[in-house]
Amino acid sequence: MLPRYLSVTARLARRHGGRPRREATARVPTRSLEAIASENAAEGCVRETWGALFAAFQAERASDPALRRAFARIAGDEARHAALSWRLHRWALGRLGVEGRARVEAAREGAIAKLRAEIACEPPPALAEIAGVPRAHEAARLFDAMIAAVG
Ligand SMILES: [Fe+2]
Please check whether residue 26 lies inside any domain of the structure: no
C-alpha of residue 48 to centroid of ligand 1, in Å:
5
pLDDT of residue 151: 78
Please check whether residue 22 lies inside any domain of the structure: no
Please check whether residue 71 lies inside any domain of the structure: yes
Counting residues of the chain whose pLDDT is more than 90, the rounded percentage is 79
pLDDT of residue 8: 76
Domain with 99, as residue range(s), is: 4-17+32-150
Please check whether residue 38 lies inside any domain of the structure: yes
Question: Which residues, 6 or more positions from 136, have their beta carbon under 8 angstroms from its beta carbon?
Answer: 119, 120, 121, 122, 123
Please check whether residue 123 lies inside any domain of the structure: yes
Please check whether residue 54 lies inside any domain of the structure: yes
Please check whether residue 138 lies inside any domain of the structure: yes
Separation between Cα atoms, residue 88 and residue 40, nearest integer Å: 8
C-alpha of residue 54 to centroid of ligand 1, in Å:
12
C-alpha of residue 81 to centroid of ligand 1, in Å:
5
Please check whether residue 84 lies inside any domain of the structure: yes
Structural domains counted in the chain: 1
C-alpha of residue 73 to centroid of ligand 1, in Å:
12
pLDDT digits (tens, 9 = 90+) for 23-76: 888 888 999 999 999 999 999 999 999 999 999 999 999 999 999 999 999 999
